[in-house]
Structure 1
């Protein structure tokens, strides 16, 4: 049974009046009797309480013992496709299924660009990965396996593919000053096709995949209009309002103009998102959000935060080691002082095996190594098999007096540089 931080404070008070008189023996007897009665009462109460439970009721501010609602936070922070990854979500789902909280809050903070509008910071290696099928499966699992639990998204900042993830939920909240930008990169991905027919088909396929997230988020008939406007710069967006309902329009004739720039997509600040009722409200903190959700008191389960932190530390630590090993491999470092061709080849094979182990252990490491060095698991497996053949040939040559087979010295086999 899952346990989470829970402070329970219960105070029991007993008072027994003891009459004393001038007879010391009688007084002593009554004191003993009173003491025994007090002990019996205390033991009876403790037995009635029973053993401690994982989720005991808590004394609330109003003096009641009703169980506080449990709020489970899930930080989706960092790079899409690595820090925010399907392996992490699988761990989170397993934990939530045990905890069974009253509400899940997905806190999204993932931005490909910094906040300096004059000098926007962009790190290509830390930009979100375009793993749309994996993201779709993540969202579907969260909706289907945890669909009986109330779920909301709190956007602290979202620039890039993470904005697609945000739209997969109907209940959105934003921090004041937060951004919901960046889906134009999906459109740019398919612009490299020279053939116009192929390019148009690729655009439609990409936009169709992206619309699936808007449909999961309950946008219904407006999923296409909203999705297209946030992805394709050529699409327009405006809105009409009927009471609390928003009618999204694929042109500029609505009451509220959102986007008419042919070079930009529809991006949202927290203010414009609130003004157009794309989001429920803006909030300043977790406490503020929980209050807006209707909970005056709550119990905060932080296991999701701990799981996410451990996962990120593990994969990034593995990635750092993987890079060092591969850089050593490329530079012919760590081969020892041997002049034996077979030993040199074995050392280089071992380095590649270490790299492969890191990439097999975390697909986040695999994605980063592929982006940075062009490495794939299948390529590494092929190179390792090649080294094994060369090692066998080198050993045969040594047994034959050093004639024939592979040439001696370092840098034999596949070479220290590997593949770029």
Structure 2
């Protein structure tokens, strides 16, 4: 009998302990409460088989950041809690890589926009990795360095800012119906305007956003009034692109103008940018020589970025998408176009070297004309090629037209001289130098 008594005592003690731990408002704990009937649970739906998860440790939920809590952002939110898709999204990646105005150019994005509308993705990720070649923060030192290394002058890249404004407006107008996020792998120089032209933005751990003071350098000239007007015009265009991403004036001024400072206060969960160094939360820029610059860490601390992501899969996880389908057709369109024109660029440098060879006979004029006509054809087919020649060697399509006209006149003069119907012009025989094109710059 002792084992039975012990078991009964244990059962009573356990029941008493369970009752003492129940909430005071629980009606089942009242002495005179009627016994509650247990509800029969509804049959659970059959579980949907999920794709096998990749091997590896399960990540912790993303940490709190200021960027994720801003409720006043423009545009359609890319977060899973807002899209409410109910299925793994199709994610379309749009690259922005290489030189602004050359690799990142209007023609390739016309093709990508068309492809996006054909594919109808659930989410768009812009991926930017673009720098102007500067290894320091002062643009004039960078200009001198670019000249020595035969690279594109950073001011040349920045001079296309009206084209960048038009392209940014087109991308917004055509694609703002899709939830969109910008992923910054690096942005130095004029490319910063695109890094911040969309309200939802993540950065790679070693990414930077810096060097927009190059825009302020475009207001040249000796006349004080004209210089001031040009300065206002260029910086106004730059700030207009940044405002597409909902960036406030205090921030845009400090990013573009070297003579502006920047700090931040925190109001609840919102960053309040200040055009001074008296911010209680963070002082970003207290220099009067260079514009504001951000690392990924300082951008996250101040809420400029929604967070830091190692790569695009990590970015999608932070947005709340553990499963997704990547569409790589945008990457392919971008890569194929830029690979094609860069291949032609290498060939075209050889063509122009042949063009500048001394002429052996009058028939060489026709060969030179053919080279220029071939260059003109490639300029029309690949606007990026034309821009590369203009910005690195000063050769434009208008100059090609003039040179072709000059050669046509020389050929006509030679033909007239041969037929005896006119005096014609000189043929420029052996040792004729570099021809009507003159020096074409380094090959």
- The structure showing larger relative contact order (alpha-carbon pairs under 8 Å, at least 6 residues apart) is 2
Report the equivalent of 1:195.
Answer: 223
Report the equivalent of 1:351.
Answer: 371
- 8 Å contact from structure 1 (residues 72, 105) kept in 2: yes
- 8 Å contact from structure 1 (residues 72, 103) kept in 2: yes
Aligned with residue 197 of structure 2, among 168, 178, 197 = 168
* Whole-angstrom CA distance in 2 between matches of 1:378 and 1:387: 14
* Whole-angstrom CA distance in 2 between matches of 1:124 and 1:155: 27
Aligned with residue 181 of structure 2, among 152, 158, 162 = 152
Unaligned runs of 5+ in 2: 1-47, 54-85
* Whole-angstrom CA distance in 2 between matches of 1:389 and 1:397: 12
SS in structure 1 opposite 2:206? Answer: coil
Asked if 1:226 corresponds to 2:216, the answer is: no
Q: CA deviation at 1:319?
A: 1.4
Asked if 1:252 corresponds to 2:281, the answer is: no
Unaligned runs of 5+ in 1: 1-57
SS in structure 2 opposite 1:261? Answer: coil
Q: Structure 1's 344 and 410: CA in aligned 2 closer, same or farther, altered over 3 A?
A: farther
- 8 Å contact from structure 1 (residues 406, 412) kept in 2: no
* Whole-angstrom CA distance in 1 between matches of 2:373 and 2:49: 57
- The Cα offsets for residues 327-350 of structure 1, whole Å up to 9 and x where unpaired, read as 221233xx6x6x3x2x12111111
- The Cα offsets for residues 140-188 of structure 1, whole Å up to 9 and x where unpaired, read as 1111111110111111111111111111110110000111111111112
Aligned with residue 276 of structure 1, among 299, 302, 312 = 302
Q: Structure 1's 405 and 107: CA in aligned 2 closer, same or farther, altered over 3 A?
A: closer
- 8 Å contact from structure 1 (residues 80, 161) kept in 2: yes
In the comparison of the two structures, how many residue pairs are matched?
350
* Whole-angstrom CA distance in 1 between matches of 2:267 and 2:425: 82
Q: Structure 1's 372 and 135: CA in aligned 2 closer, same or farther, altered over 3 A?
A: same
Q: CA deviation at 1:79?
A: 0.9
Q: Structure 1's 294 and 382: CA in aligned 2 closer, same or farther, altered over 3 A?
A: same
SS in structure 1 opposite 2:326? Answer: strand
* Alpha-carbon RMSD: 2.6
* Whole-angstrom CA distance in 2 between matches of 1:101 and 1:92: 12
Asked if 1:366 corresponds to 2:392, the answer is: no
* Whole-angstrom CA distance in 2 between matches of 1:344 and 1:266: 55
Q: Which moved more, 1:368-377 or 1:227-236?
A: 368-377
Q: Structure 1's 112 and 372: CA in aligned 2 closer, same or farther, altered over 3 A?
A: closer
Q: TM-score, normalised by structure 2?
A: 0.73
Q: TM-score, normalised by structure 1?
A: 0.77
Q: Structure 1's 417 and 144: CA in aligned 2 closer, same or farther, altered over 3 A?
A: closer
* Whole-angstrom CA distance in 2 between matches of 1:164 and 1:193: 24
* Whole-angstrom CA distance in 2 between matches of 1:401 and 1:87: 48
